[in-house]
Structure 1
């Protein structure tokens, strides 16, 4: 056992004075569905509903005193705030001005009078710059969410607990990747212990920073970032995590579509009563892609967080329906004559439900444009509907898969 393993185990033991280990439980529904022995490491059940508490605890317990500062719009902020109050440390937490009020209120609740929250910048880059500038001016200690040796060591406690909770080692571990602190910590611990289980690393397709780094041989900054999976959508994997992850086989990194992730969030909520944020659902959603690879095997999925703002639920439902092929949006060019709308309504199938209807404008003297949203079952119904529209002579355009038009019109 190397020094890293010993330090990670010491950190885990120290955590027991602060918060309990998270459960590792078998999920019967997922096991039956995928023909595997599926277990969930429930990081969504820490006191701040994410694993970020671990790294914050380990880094802050080693500090020499004085103020600490961080930049975060979510779980890292809450973990630091919780530890500030527990350890009696003063903290300044920088958050973007656009941060939802629920996250700000939760951070303030966890930190109490030990934490000052400053809202700076519309985007995270400006927030991060402000936090670092403050540290330089005020002599505060900056705490990175992932690119910090003590944070990585603290996140390794997930693997330490997992090792003691299972009588038999898992065949495969599925872990989400954002900045890389958790995945690097777990991999480093298993390496230090001399027994590395098979691992799969999961990223959102719109934030695949590890994939980009492995291809380039070094961390690179993504040109574009989809922030929907806010707990894992990171434009650049951390330098320290990448030093640990650089030899991960690229084929072991999965990139998952954000809209499909919404289906998994809904399923886990409706079927299992488990509330997962988008990043927390990544490992479970990955089971769809692993398919035959996991049949008959023991698989552990790390559910990294459950800080889900239920105001996002309509958006999650919308994206899930569109991904599943159960909802589409069309622009129709309708003739401006009596009975034209009735003719269209008569070609709808028994399972077709109009979810939105809006006249946009007259495109010509005798025609007008209509935006219509339709929900249906089964997905194949849309092909039949489009055929009937063609037969009726209705000009139509499917907007569902057009991201630009979708943002502007839908």
Structure 2
């Protein structure tokens, strides 16, 4: 019987007719910072800037081998899976219909159409992904088309395992630890199934979409009640049934969660220091290094940077979230006396490194006072302790709302 490793190697060999292996690069900056030999598996440098074309290629290849008359493929995706499927539809010379939510950014729609060309049609359906998915499956049932799942498919898992095949060939050995981002589970299931017990693993999920951790706790895949969509490439409400079957015996201690705001810090660091553009999901494996620093010291570690499809229109949001997480930007509501000189008195309290990034009168809350929304940026987080101490001594009334999710959503 052919083993999973054999089929993964065969899939990898077949891929070489379509695209080259993505680079495995030693990162000196991270290696020095963490006292380890850290390598990045640069899936952000694939033809579609993510690993998703691997699974799409293998699943489509298998379908066409078994049903050569099958000429119509369908997927539902707002991002990397859509682009991978589009790329492969053009490669195999088959037709594809790609369902995307109406709310999908134009940049992603344009890239999908660019990769697929005349081979694909993009249909914008539904405000939410569940509606889009339902439309795609209904279309498949009506047209007899083949639905290409993003992760819950054995051929997709096998295709994603090509990442592990390449790591082994490029490193000429197994690493001590592989750090893998987890969304639906296809990549992590494929890599772990190929390496088996040959190395240690760290699986990392966004804090607002920890579906693997929830499944391990429940003993089966369960749907999360709420998902933070910021890490859109890995924010999945329920890990796939088939990936989980390959991950069900994972030690929960090897599953970590990364806070969304901290991921923003990592994205900016990789961009500013290394010139590497990563999307939020693509930064997960690098971001979690701080949590496993004691485990990796002196070890050879591979981080899979799973994608680099980042829309730079999101950069202001990423910078904002990174500053707030780092403690160098805060928002607060100040109760400002309505008298001459009060504003000047407040301005004189600010330190030489404190800059006003936002100043907005909200309302006159009393005859002699008004509420003001103020955003302050500074160079060092410790400057806020000094600022708030001065405000307290002068007698200003204020409320820090930086971490107040509800007020921040409405006011900031």
TM-score range, shorter chain: over 0.9
Whole-angstrom CA distance in 1 between matches of 2:354 and 2:173 = 50
Instruction: Please report how far the alpha carbon of residue 2 of structure 1 lies from its aligned counterpart in structure 2 after TM superposition.
Output: 5.1
Match of 1:127 in 2: 132
Partners of 2:73 and 2:145 within 8 A in 1: yes
Whole-angstrom CA distance in 1 between matches of 2:9 and 2:235 = 29
Where does 1:246-265 land on structure 2 (aligned, <5 Å)? 246-265=248-267
Where does 1:165-244 land on structure 2 (aligned, <5 Å)? 165-191=170-196, 195-244=197-246
Give deviations 1:353-409, integer Å, cap 9, x for gaps: 101111111001111010000011211111111111111111101110011111111
Partners of 2:353 and 2:379 within 8 A in 1: yes
Instruction: Please report how far the alpha carbon of residue 196 of structure 1 lies from its aligned counterpart in structure 2 after TM superposition.
Output: 2.5
Asked if 1:77 corresponds to 2:62, the answer is: no
Partners of 1:331 and 1:371 within 8 A in 2: yes
Whole-angstrom CA distance in 2 between matches of 1:23 and 1:385 = 47
Partners of 2:174 and 2:198 within 8 A in 1: no
Whole-angstrom CA distance in 2 between matches of 1:237 and 1:12 = 25
Match of 2:366 in 1: 364
Asked if 1:320 corresponds to 2:322, the answer is: yes
RMSD of Structure 2 on Structure 1 (CA): 0.9
Give deviations 1:282-312, integer Å, cap 9, x for gaps: 0001111111211111100000000000000
Give deviations 1:184-227, integer Å, cap 9, x for gaps: 01111123xxx521011000000000000000000000001000
- SS of the residue aligned with 2:292? helix
Partners of 1:78 and 1:110 within 8 A in 2: yes
Match of 1:392 in 2: 394
Partners of 1:24 and 1:42 within 8 A in 2: yes
Match of 1:282 in 2: 284
Give deviations 1:26-48, integer Å, cap 9, x for gaps: 00011011111000000001000
Match of 1:137 in 2: 142
Give the TM-score normalised by the residue count of structure 2. Answer: 0.98
Whole-angstrom CA distance in 2 between matches of 1:274 and 1:155 = 22
Instruction: Please report how far the alpha carbon of residue 167 of structure 1 lies from its aligned counterpart in structure 2 after TM superposition.
Output: 2.3
Match of 1:382 in 2: 384
- SS of the residue aligned with 2:98? strand
Partners of 1:362 and 1:369 within 8 A in 2: yes
Whole-angstrom CA distance in 2 between matches of 1:58 and 1:262 = 32
Partners of 1:187 and 1:196 within 8 A in 2: no
Asked if 1:86 corresponds to 2:91, the answer is: yes
Give deviations 1:59-102, integer Å, cap 9, x for gaps: 00112222110000000000000000111110000001110000
Instruction: Please report how far the alpha carbon of residue 175 of structure 1 lies from its aligned counterpart in structure 2 after TM superposition.
Output: 0.5
Whole-angstrom CA distance in 2 between matches of 1:244 and 1:294 = 24
Whole-angstrom CA distance in 2 between matches of 1:171 and 1:156 = 18
Match of 1:148 in 2: 153
- SS of the residue aligned with 2:183? coil
Partners of 1:356 and 1:374 within 8 A in 2: yes
Match of 2:46 in 1: 46
Instruction: Please report how far the alpha carbon of residue 168 of structure 1 lies from its aligned counterpart in structure 2 after TM superposition.
Output: 3.1
- SS of the residue aligned with 1:122? coil
Where does 1:104-119 land on structure 2 (aligned, <5 Å)? 104-119=109-124
Give the TM-score normalised by the residue count of structure 1. Answer: 0.98
Whole-angstrom CA distance in 2 between matches of 1:256 and 1:71 = 26
Which 4+ runs in 1 deviate beyond 4 A?
none
Partners of 1:204 and 1:257 within 8 A in 2: yes
Whole-angstrom CA distance in 2 between matches of 1:114 and 1:407 = 41
The number of aligned residues is 407
Whole-angstrom CA distance in 1 between matches of 2:368 and 2:375 = 23
Whole-angstrom CA distance in 2 between matches of 1:174 and 1:274 = 18
Whole-angstrom CA distance in 2 between matches of 1:388 and 1:364 = 24
- SS of the residue aligned with 1:121? coil
Unaligned residue ranges in structure 1 (runs of 5+): none
Unaligned residue ranges in structure 2 (runs of 5+): none
